[in-house]
Structure 1
Amino acid sequence: MEQHVLGSDWLITPAGGTSGEAYLAENSQQQKLFLKRNSSPFLAILSAEGIVPKLVWTKRLADGDVITAQKWLEGRVLSKDEMQQEAVVQLMSKIHHSSEILHLFMRMGKKPLEPWHFLVQLQEKSRSLSVLNTSFVQQVIQFLTQHIKHVENHRKVVCHADVNHENWLLGEDNHLYLIDWDNAVLADPAMDLSMMLYQYIPRDSWDDWLQQYGIELDQPLLARIQWYRLAQSLSYYLWHLDQGDEHESEKWKKQLLQEQALFINR
């Protein structure tokens, strides 16, 4: 990050994260900013809606890169158990039902992620990593192909696509934020719901959780949630495999093998 973005009075240090494009800026007056290079263009509407920390300014550099500065938030990420809190389901419902976020995302020219496109992406990635012919990947691809009719032609919303508990930030003022929107897509809300339910909500609480979200759990919705759960699990497995992260890729492989018993023979 170039120092001249803020001036000599500011100290800029890496803020961590997988992209390597996030920074903490501090000055002698104890002011703090969260800086990011080329973050999501609809950060402004997310800030206005109170979904991400306040956007302070945006600057375009000479090389064409865009730097955004947000208020540095003193707070903490949610624990896995805290993901069951009502505030989480209410914020997810707000995001999925926001016409402002949806319309801005569409004006940016974003194309909907159709299930068949997601499936083709998974097949191509599996082929490039030489795992397409492994038995468990073949079984998952076969299941997704056979059941794709359950996820076609459904309403699309802006999905965060990575609702991991580490992206939920609780500020000192107890305001809850969902951060890191770089992977957001226009897709079936079941994409976000599947990750949330399978990772954080006990199975016997799904009905109540979805009622708070604003829908009823029926067989068609369950089929969509199951489809996206397997598709995303395979996607995470392939991503970590591509990154050379053996520990995480094995974790997702194990997850897929366990889930085959739930879905593959249905």
Structure 2
Amino acid sequence: MEQHVLGSDWLITPAGGTSGEAYLAENSQNQKLFLKRNSSPFLAILSAEGIVPKLVWTKRLADGDVITAQKWLEGRVLSKGEMQQDTVVQLMSKIHHSSEILHLFMRMGKKPLEPWHFLVQLQEKARSLSSSDKMFMKRVTQFLSNHVHHVENQRKVVCHADVNHENWLLGEDHHLYLIDWDNAVLADPAMDLSMMLYQYIPRSNWETWLDQYGVTLDQSLLARIQWYRVAQSLSYYLWHLEQNDYPESEKWKKQLLNEQSLFIDH
């Protein structure tokens, strides 16, 4: 990160994260900013809606890169247990039902992620990897192909696509934020709901949770949630396989095998 973005009075240091493009800027007056290179262009509307920490300014560099500065958030990430709190489902519902966020995302020229396209991506990735698990991957992609009709022609919303508990930040003012929107997509809300429910909400509480979110859990929604659970689990499995992270890929494989009894067979 170029020092001249802020001036000599500021100290800029890496803020961690997997992208390597996030920084903490501090000056002698103890002011702090969170800087990021080429973050999501619709950060401004997310800031205005109170979904991410306040956007302070945006600057375009000579090389064409865009730097955004947000208020540095003093707070902490939610624990897995805290993901069951009412504030989480309320914020998830607000995001999925926001026409402002949806319209801006569409004006950016974003194409909807259709389930068949997601499936083709997974099939191509599976074919490109040399793995002893070819039969396993074929079985999973076949399941997704057989059931893709359950998830076609669904209403699309802006999905965060990585609602891991580490992306939910509770500020010192007790305001809840959902950060890291770099992977956001226009997709079936079941994509986010699937990750949320399977990872953090006991099955016996799904109906209540979804009622708070604003929908009724029927067979159709359950089939969509399960389809995206399988698709995302396979996606994580393939990604870790690609990174040669075999312990983590094996974890996702076991998860897929263990949960097959839950799948609806229409």
Coarse TM-score class (shorter-chain normalised): over 0.9
**Contact 1:144 1:231 survives alignment (8 Å):** yes
- Cα distance, 1:247 vs structure 2: 2.7
TM-score by length of 2: 0.97
Give the structure 1 partner of residue 195 of structure 2.
195
- Cα distance, 1:260 vs structure 2: 2.4
Instruction: Compute the RMSD of aligned alpha carbons.
Output: 1.3
Give the structure 2 partner of residue 253 of structure 1.
253
Structure 2 CA distance for aligned equivalents of residues 245 and 252 of structure 1: 11
Structure 2 CA distance for aligned equivalents of residues 132 and 156 of structure 1: 36
Unaligned 5+ runs, structure 2? none
AA of the residue aligned to 1:2: E
Q: How does 1:35-184 map to 2 (within 5 A)?
A: 35-131=35-131, 134-184=134-184
Larger displacement relative to structure 2 (256-265 or 167-176): 256-265
SS at match of 1:52: coil
AA of the residue aligned to 2:160: H
Number of aligned pairs?
A: 266
Give the structure 2 partner of residue 23 of structure 1.
23
Identity %: 86
TM-score by length of 1: 0.97
**Contact 1:143 1:264 survives alignment (8 Å):** no
**Contact 1:125 1:238 survives alignment (8 Å):** yes
Change (3 A) 1:48 1:138: same
AA of the residue aligned to 1:87: T
Structure 2 CA distance for aligned equivalents of residues 102 and 150 of structure 1: 23
SS at match of 2:252: helix
**Contact 2:223 2:264 survives alignment (8 Å):** no
Give the structure 1 partner of residue 224 of structure 2.
224
**Contact 1:24 1:33 survives alignment (8 Å):** yes
- Cα distance, 1:133 vs structure 2: 6.1
Give the structure 1 partner of residue 11 of structure 2.
11
- Cα distance, 1:256 vs structure 2: 1.3
- Cα distance, 1:132 vs structure 2: 9.0
Structure 2 CA distance for aligned equivalents of residues 44 and 57 of structure 1: 9
AA of the residue aligned to 2:111: K
**Contact 2:163 2:196 survives alignment (8 Å):** yes
SS at match of 2:244: coil
Unaligned 5+ runs, structure 1? none
Change (3 A) 1:264 1:87: closer
**Contact 1:14 1:22 survives alignment (8 Å):** yes
Larger displacement relative to structure 2 (78-87 or 126-135): 126-135
- Cα distance, 1:28 vs structure 2: 0.6
**Contact 2:223 2:263 survives alignment (8 Å):** no
Per-residue CA deviations over 1:216-236 (Å, capped at 9, x if unaligned) read: 000000000000000000111
- Cα distance, 1:265 vs structure 2: 6.7
Structure 1 CA distance for aligned equivalents of residues 128 and 22 of structure 2: 30
- Cα distance, 1:201 vs structure 2: 0.2
